[in-house]
A and B are shown apart, each in its own frame.
Chain A
């Protein structure tokens, strides 16, 4: 069983690495893959604060936008390459997370109210950046040096795909590492029952803050790459739909399961994009109608996540396979 797991894991890694060679001439396919991975990274990072710590964070767009604006502005104003800029972006997102997280966790804003205040945060930043004409403003700011690898402005999607692959493996690894560490056990305990965890000596405030900071850093980093992929920065990067979608992918995929949100992102984002590509022409929003119905159905009938469905099926098939082999 354990060998099988490692083999299938290696197979998946290999598949992810060689996938672009099948899509070499297919620009749309590469965009699709990169988008799926982008959501996969965001949802995997969300798993730390949302899945493990049980804080329904709806502010992914805030950290994403901060990362994008830091990276973009550093490139525009100081000609600093995004290869460094994205890390500065991640740090800015972390700084903001600390600024927000300290009072939030100090005043025990939790559950519904945490979700709502984080959701309001995204809109606050979006409006603030529209009004802040020096950095943002209502018009897109296009990034220079198109086609230069030094400035992370590739003319093809394949390098971006591999950057996303690196980010994905990094955030999966961070997830796995946290879930095995003391912090991970603290988070799972306080996600289940905050008061009980506190009584048992878990430092609830600092554990939550650590989770929020790690999540913000990964999302901020991704935001920098996001700006380079799109080639411009705009206050609409502080997007509420994106923020809720990241959380939904995490929930639908399976909260607290390391690769759950990734599974959710792969299945749902590819479904959404394929629906959009096939139905987009005449009926603009039909794909969103179907997409939301599927979301609701999954949440209603598999509240623990679609990954548990896959696991159950896998276990069933595997045990039957073992039984058949032994029978021979």
Chain B
């Protein structure tokens, strides 16, 4: 029983970070209906940036999002204007082809810059652990999860309370009507893409406090976040957290009770089953 609780705690904490990564993806997908295959690789790039700042500037990984967040935001806007904007009117196949090209590009750049071996940072300000009942909790995981939840809440507030946030929601609900009431469609798309990419910076920095990074990680995070998104459906932010936690727990349980290698197998099986049985997601509104 203790083992189960321990696994569930770890899985749920990881799940919050998955929810944060997926929030970025769901912003982009929900607003532009664009499938960003490179989303997982943006997480990987943010992790490498955190690694760089950690090892060359002595900055703690948990603080790197302060710098990488604006950088990834600009990168996202750049990607939008350079690639996505040109393919908006094309078939979805072309859009996917462009983001797959971007995915290959980011992965190759990471391999070029950091070689293929995994990298990790030796320590973090928030490392250490403590005991609650029978479960041992890693401080870094707990704080990462809390930061993720906090950021998700902030983004939800941004989307519901501020003008640009409401513009994003309006464009995603009805493109024509929103341009009639004066929403600049292109700028809103760019904002959504930039914000969606920038959220990976926070996830990447927090992940770097307790994980290592290698260039093939993008595939894993990409499919993981698609799985969470498929489970959630579009438009539900609390659903995002619940699905993230479900996926994280399923992964942890598979790792503990079946085989460490089976962790992704279970995630992908959930993904495929959800697609077959509930193509609109479990918590979605669309």
Contact = CB atoms under 8 A, between A and B. Distances in A.
A85 B233 CA distance: 43
Nearest to B107: A288
B275 A109 contact: yes
A255 B219 CA distance: 25
Given A284-B112, A288-B111, A303-B90, A131 B265 contact: yes
Contacts of A112: 35, 92, 96
A119 B87 contact: no
A19 B224 CA distance: 45
A242 interface: no
Interface residues of A, number: 45
B104 A300 contact: no
A103 interface: yes
Interface stretch (B163-171, B177-185, B240-248, B266-274): B266-274
B264 interface: yes
B119 to A, nearest CB: 16
A300 B98 contact: yes
A120 B264 CA distance: 10
B279 A124 contact: no
Nearest to A107: B276
Given A289-B108, A303-B87, 9 more contacts: A107-B277, A117-B276, A119-B223, A123-B268, A127-B265, A284-B116, A288-B107, A288-B111, A293-B105
A4 to B, nearest CB: 32
Interface of B: 35, 37, 83, 86-87, 90-94, 96-98, 100-105, 107-109, 111-112, 115-116, 219, 223, 226-227, 230, 259, 261-262, 264-265, 268-269, 271-272, 275-277, 279
A90 interface: no
Contacts of B102: 292, 296
B108 A292 contact: yes
Given A121-B272, A248-B101, A108 B219 contact: no
Given A112-B92, A124-B269, A299 B97 contact: yes
B276 A251 contact: no
B35 to A, nearest CB: 5
Contact of B93 (A108, A120, A240, A255): A255
A257 to B, nearest CB: 14
Interface string A257-297: 00000000000000000000000000111101101110110
A208 B252 CA distance: 37
Contacts of B101: 248, 292-293, 295-296, 299
Contacts of A291: 104, 108
A265 to B, nearest CB: 15
B271 to A, nearest CB: 5
A321 interface: no
Given A120-B223, A284-B112, A251 B94 contact: yes
Contact of A107 (B230, B265, B279): B279
27 contacts: A56-B92, A104-B276, A107-B276, A107-B277, A112-B92, A115-B35, A116-B223, A117-B276, A119-B223, A120-B226, A120-B227, A121-B268, A123-B219, A123-B264, A123-B268, A127-B268, A240-B219, A244-B100, A247-B97, A248-B97, A251-B97, A284-B112, A288-B105, A289-B105, A292-B105, A295-B97, A303-B90
A149 interface: no
B223 A123 contact: yes
A195 interface: no
A130 interface: yes
A173 interface: no
Nearest to A303: B94
A314 B74 CA distance: 42
